[in-house]
Structure 1
Amino acid sequence: MANSTPRIAVDAMGGDHGPGVNVPGALAAAREQGLRLLLVGDQTALEAELARHDTAGLDVEIVHASEVAAMSDKPSDVLRRKKDSSIQVACRLVKEGRADGVVSAGNSGASVACGMFVIGRVKGVLRPAFAGILPTVKNPTILLDVGANVDSRPEHLFQFAFLGDVLARDVLRYDSPRVGILSIGEEEGKGNTQVKEAFEMLKASPLRFLGNVEGRDIFTGDVDVVVCDGFVGNVALKLAEGLASNMGKVLKRELTGSLLGRIGTLLAMGRLKRFARFADYAEYGGAPLLGLQGIVIVCHGASSPKAISSAVKMAGRFVASGANEHIRQALEANRDLTRT
């Protein structure tokens, strides 16, 4: 495209709250980073929502889409029968070169399907992967795959490591990301056949490979990229989400259960707010689907404007850094280490 400023297509109809959340979130990101926006969805609804906001100085275009992929829709049905759904239209804009990436809080399965079959993969990528960005006691850790592939071969895990390494360098700005593979023990030789074979490939790669890591290591901040099968990664991600949610409820119950507890809460309010920000998924907005010709970021259905804004900004950084070209180069340079 003649203009080098990243242009992000936003599935403005996706998610639980539709344009009322997606539009202000996207506008906030565009204003902060100077991004160009394509808001995809029902034109009348989007014009009405845009009229409620100050768009002076912003490059915003509405692209009409007459259909919406419902959360209950099967991904295959969205691909075949809802060709004018906002998520498929958004992905088609990337395919046609009118946008560089897509952000959606809608049907995640449909987002993955449209990303894979409409946008297509980067040359050399065997399987795109979902990357979860998790808070730790130090810097965030990338966990992938967290659900795009429920059955992965060793060479897929090998490639996931390169996808995560590029994300860590280009988006999180880590100079030399530390990479580990999730297993049932830290010692070399632990794990199933899939993990053991991927271990040998990664050990021979130029990545800063630490070896096996266990589930408890994910949140220490001592490893920057953790690679695993999508089935395992999704279970780990949902376990972490559930633990954080319920720990918060227990903490609230204990702090407000007595007069002394309530007084202590008031005194510690500043630190408690910092803790809440630490555990807030909205800080990063969504899970990037890595390995496609354009970045696709899938957000939680109940995303807030802050979460949408964070996702759009992440998409902009991914595009501006040239991450997809770095992925292609890394895979091409290490193609001989896989069996494909």
Structure 2
Amino acid sequence: MMKIAVDAMGGDNAPQVIVEGIEKARDEWTDLEFVLYGDETKIKEYLKDDKRIKIVNTDEEILGTDEPVKAIRSKKNSSMVLAAKSVKNKEADAMLSLGNTGALLAAGIFIVGRIKQVSRPALMPTLPVTNSSLGVNVLDVGANAEAKATYLQQWAIMGSIYAHDIKQIEEPRVALLNNGTESDKGDPLHKEAYDLLKNTEGINFIGNVESNDILAGVADVIVTDGFTGNAALKATEGTATILLSQLKNALLNNGFFTKMGAAIVAPSLKSLKDMFDTSKAGGAVLLGLKSPVVKAHGAADAKTVFYTVKQIYGMLLNDTINKSNKYFEQMEEKK
């Protein structure tokens, strides 16, 4: 039996969507148990069946406005901190939260702990692509504003292992986000990273990609520093939101005949909407920690919580974290 610790108070719609998503996941996978950390009274308001679900009452909560490291240190009885401690103490195998991203990263590093050979954990979401339902994994998207070439190499290795295990891609295509596709493009960091990735055993490195190809499906894993990754992520999300909104406005607010046309093309447009529905991709993984820690979006619904559990379940079944451990140990032995 595998156990997942859940920060039930994180997110915009907690604990309702968390409880609903967890109950659905519990019913789907009979070898999973859950421990929900949070306000017991509020959790029980939405919990229909406590089979394989335990509640640990907490009297503190980390807010989205809290300073991350300070919150982790001062709110020791918060749902996030206690969930992280249960993973550290091997009482749970993984952790799920919809809460403060910075605080979760701090809890992951200072409480759960990082893999010995990994210098810095990275935040890795799955973004949609035009030619596949599997999406593309991009890391780092904000955990590390500054990076070294060796960090990008480590993230590429872990991202590749994840894509192989969870998305069942035999040889995931790994690319480096850069300002040109040529091998000599970029600043010293990207040039050094390119040379490292080109000579890294066990990954299928395909070279540089530019930001206009992030959603084109040319790679399965894209690595970059956290500053660039976060900027690219926000620009991509913002552009998609604006385009979909403007398209809807153009079709529905320009007269009777335009609305008739909208009704005709609606089935075709559904595929566009489905492409940008990332709920089935689950959450963003904090890769580089000793156990799976996954962050779902603060505005996530119950369906997203369900698929985030599926994502964690896959990591546990495939022993993804230990595969990264073994890879880095082998690299150390060869030095």
Does the pair score TM above 0.5? yes
TM-score (norm 1): 0.93
- Separation (CA, whole Å) in 1 of partners of 2:118 and 2:57: 32
- Separation (CA, whole Å) in 2 of partners of 1:336 and 1:253: 59
2:71 is aligned with 1:75 = no
Residues 180-207 of structure 1, C-alpha deviations (whole Å, 9 max, x = no match):
1111111111111111111111111121
Deviation at residue 332 of structure 1 after TM alignment? 2.3
Moved over 6 A (4+): none
Aligned residue in 2 for 1:181: 176
Q: SS at the partner of 1:232?
A: helix
TM-score (norm 2): 0.95
- Separation (CA, whole Å) in 2 of partners of 1:23 and 1:226: 33
Q: Which amino acid aligns with 1:324?
A: I
2:201 is aligned with 1:208 = no
Aligned residue in 1 for 2:192: 197
CA gap of 1:141–1:336, structure 2 versus 1, over 3 A, is: farther
Aligned residue in 2 for 1:245: 241
Aligned residue in 2 for 1:265: 262
Q: SS at the partner of 2:76?
A: coil
Aligned residue in 2 for 1:66: 59
Deviation at residue 335 of structure 1 after TM alignment? 4.0
2:282 is aligned with 1:282 = no
Deviation at residue 247 of structure 1 after TM alignment? 0.5
Matches within 5 A, 1:103-182: 103-139=96-132, 140-182=135-177
Consecutive unaligned residues of structure 1, counting only runs of 5 or more, are: none
Residues 298-322 of structure 1, C-alpha deviations (whole Å, 9 max, x = no match):
1221111111111121111111110
Aligned residue in 1 for 2:300: 303
Q: Which amino acid aligns with 2:256?
A: L
Aligned residue in 2 for 1:91: 84
- Separation (CA, whole Å) in 2 of partners of 1:87 and 1:133: 23
Whether contact under 8 Å (1:205, 1:334) holds in the other structure is no
Q: Which amino acid aligns with 2:221?
A: V
Deviation at residue 266 of structure 1 after TM alignment? 1.9
Deviation at residue 337 of structure 1 after TM alignment? 8.8
Q: Which amino acid aligns with 1:174?
A: I
- Separation (CA, whole Å) in 2 of partners of 1:7 and 1:270: 41
Residues 162-220 of structure 1, C-alpha deviations (whole Å, 9 max, x = no match):
11101101111111100111111111111111111111111111211111111122111
Q: SS at the partner of 2:129?
A: coil
- Separation (CA, whole Å) in 1 of partners of 2:102 and 2:274: 28
Quick check: 146-155 or 280-289, which moved more?
280-289
Residues 59-80 of structure 1, C-alpha deviations (whole Å, 9 max, x = no match):
1111222110011111122121
Whether contact under 8 Å (2:16, 2:43) holds in the other structure is no
Whether contact under 8 Å (1:204, 1:337) holds in the other structure is no
Deviation at residue 336 of structure 1 after TM alignment? 7.5
- Separation (CA, whole Å) in 1 of partners of 2:271 and 2:136: 19
Aligned match for 1:254, one of 230, 250, 255: 250
Residues 59-116 of structure 1, C-alpha deviations (whole Å, 9 max, x = no match):
1111222110011111122121100110001101101111111111111111110011
Deviation at residue 281 of structure 1 after TM alignment? 2.6
Q: Percent identity?
A: 37
